[in-house]
Structure formats: C-alpha cells, structure tokens
Amino acid sequence: MIDIKLIRANPDLFIHAAKVKNISVDINRLLEIDKQLLHLRQELQEIRTEQNKTGKEIPRLDGQEKQAKIEQLTKLKTRAKEISQQIDNLQPEFDRLMLLVPQPPDPSVPIGADEKDNVEIKKVGEIRKFDFEPLDHVELGKALDIIDIDRGVKLAGARNYCLKGAGVLLHQAVLKLAIDIIRKKGFTLLTVPVLVRDKVMYGTGYFPVGMDQAYLVERDGLSLAGTAEVPLTAYHADEILDEADLPKKYAALTPCYRREAGAAGKDTRGLYRIHYFDKVEQVIIGPNDAEMSVRFHQEILANSEEVLQALELPYRVVNVCTGDLGQGQVQKFDIETWMPSRNAYGETHSASRFHEFQARRLNIRYRGEDGKLRFCHTLNNTVIASPRILIPILELYQNRDGSVTIPHALRDYMDGMEKIERK
C-alpha cells in the first residue's frame, strides 16, 4: 500500500510506475475519488460540529425559536446521512484502486518489458563442458529411478511429480544445507502456516494482482501461499515493534503452491515450472531506512550465493527490469543457475526489497527513539527452492556412465553417499 499523501504530492511518479511495471490502475480516477472523499468528510465533520452545538442549544430554548432549531437539527441529520451514504458508495472504489497502485522502482532498476530486458550484474563459476552427450534431468531421473513425473501427473495432473529414493534424499539434503547456512547467519527459524487468511495475501501484495496464481480455499476464506514470504512477513502484522529489536530476521522451510496460470506451453518439461515445491525463504523486517534496506538487500543476496557456491554451481545475478518487477518491489535481483538442458541460466532465487509497501498494508510499525511511529521496511529472498535446484545439480554432476556425483557439501546429509547410480 502506498501513502495517499505521496500519490497526491506526485501523481506522475505513480502513473509512470504503473506504466513501466505494466500494472493497470487509473491514478487520476483515484485522486478524483480521494478529492471527493476529503470534501465529503470535511462537510460531514462540519455538520456534526453544528449538530453538537445545536443539540446543546435546544434545551435552553422554547417556543418558535426552539422549534426552528429542532427543524435545523433534523435537516442536519438528513444531510449527514446523505453524505455518509456517498462516502460508503465511494470508499470501495477508492480501496480497490489503492490496492493496485505500484511501488515506484528504484532509479537503478533498468526500464524493460519482461525478463529478456533484465541486466546481468555478474557471473560466478565455470560452465562445465561435457566430453559426452549429456542427458537432461528428466532422462537422468527416470534412468536412476529417482524422479517419476508420469505418476505425479496421474495423481494430480500436469506440472506434478514424485521423487523417489535417492532423489528424495538429494532434495532433503539441499534443504538441510540451506537451513544450516541461514541459521548460522543469525536468522531465526520458524514453522509457519501455509494455508493463510486472505488478508495476509492482500497484506503481502499477492492479492489482488496475483490472485489468479493462488490456490483458493474460498469456503474458509483461506489461500495456499506460494512462498513462506507470505506468513513470515505477516508474522508481526498489526504490531508495534521496538526500534531496538530491529531488524527481525526470519527463515522458514515450507511447501509452496502455485497455479502457474497463463504459463501453458512455457517450461513444461521436467521440474522447472511446477505446482508445488519446497523452499527455504529468508525475510528481514527492518527500520524505515532506505540505505539500510539496500545493505540488507545485499546481505540476503549474498546468503543465497553462499549456498550455490557451497554446491559449486555456476550462476549469474541479474538486476530485474521494471516490466518483470512485482507490484510492491522497489528492486529485485534474480539469481540464475546454469542448466545444461536449457543451454541457459534459469532463475532459482529472487531477492526483493519493498520499502514500506508490505508493512503499510500489514500495519507493521515500530516506535523510534524519538517516540514516533513508523512503518517498517521488508525484504525477502529464496535461500533454496527444490526440486528446481535439482535440475542443475543432476545435469552438471552427471557422469558418462549415467550416474550422478553428489556435491561434496551434501554428502554428510546423505549418509556419506558419493554417487547416485543405476540399479
């Protein structure tokens, strides 16, 4: 949510933000309704003041003078009711438009239409050159009997899968490694619900813009979260924190559910774009300080890079362009890991900062040393998401004989297993 005062002061900034983020919202209509509401509320306040004054005068009067005041009071009540009804009629449209206003991107965010316009910042690691014809992760998984897509589809439809045997161990090992790394960074681990109230989805900015991507449990007013970012960020909703206790650093491992609406025909093979997966997420709730938020952004990005470096996977970091940014994001850095079957880097992590966009919607505030209340800043990033990360692990660590070498960083989590081999 954006402070309406900021929109009033600089509407062109938000009109531009909507344009470059490809978000449809009528800022001029919002300001027109805002102006009407301000006028109506001011008139209503004046009427109520007059009502109070007149109500106190009536007991001291008699005769025609008293009757005139009674008639005046009746007219005031009627007008107050009319104004209240006008406010009630306008408020829903105002609220709807406010929920659509995007956060303006940072000036350093490149202008662009979609992911093709993201700008590479750096590359880390060497891309493996094979001296044999490599298999993709689907072929490897089937041959090693560790991935069963056919039965996953039988159970739950397209974009589903089952992991088996050593595939499950590899999946769990990656998650355990990520948890250990982020815990050592001072993040508090939480177990949180992934079936959450709709107001939590609205609060974190996943509704209304992203509603078509969520699985809805409409009978109960609940939704399945597509990321632990949702419950972690909302953990302190409607609370006033102490500045001395900031930043709050949380991490959680949760299942994640996404409908992938509109993704038909895109990345359909294998484990890249699927309906459910497990993810370790990191969230920071910090003070309302733009420079500090930039430092936190670099911190959570580095945490995720450390996981990939431990796995010895080649990756790159990109500065995400405006057209690929979410509604509330000030800036986002994606980490893309090399995937031989795609002959390209594929997105595996997204590090975002929001300033007060989410905190304002969730009403997360803190009291500063000066005693004033301010909205917090929020940030989040993937620590690891699996099974997508299994794509580069399986494909880059495969051997000529069809086996897959286990990365050294994962062997202790797999009882010392060094290879996954054909049975």
List Cα–Cα distances, 320 to 3, 121, 202, 290, 382, in angstroms: 25, 10, 23, 19, 15
Catalytic residue among 159, 360, 365, 388: 388
Q: How many CB atoms lie within 10 A of CB 305?
A: 17
Matching residue, tokens 């609060």: 203
Identify the H or E element spanning 386: strand 377-386
Catalytic residue among 336, 347, 356, 395: 347
284: nearest Cα among 373, 200, 201, 376? 376
Give φ, ψ of 402 to 5 degrees. Answer: 90, -5
Report the Cα–Cα distance between both ends of the chain, in Å, rounded.
55
Residues 6+ apart with CB under 8 A from 36: 86, 90
| Residue 386: active-site member | no
Distance separating alpha carbons of residues 15 and 208, to the nearest angstrom: 19
Catalytic residue among 48, 197, 273, 374: 273
Given CA atoms 184, 278, 215, 26 in this order, what sign does their dihedral have?
A: positive
Q: How many CB atoms lie within 10 A of CB 274?
A: 20
| Residue 273: active-site member | yes
Q: Could you give the dihedral angle defined by the CA atoms of residues 302, 307, 313 and 318, in that order, rounded to the nearest 10 degrees?
A: -30
Catalytic residue among 350, 352, 356, 395: 350
| Residue 350: active-site member | yes
Catalytic residue among 258, 353, 360, 361: 258
List residues with catalytic annotation: 258, 273, 347, 350, 388
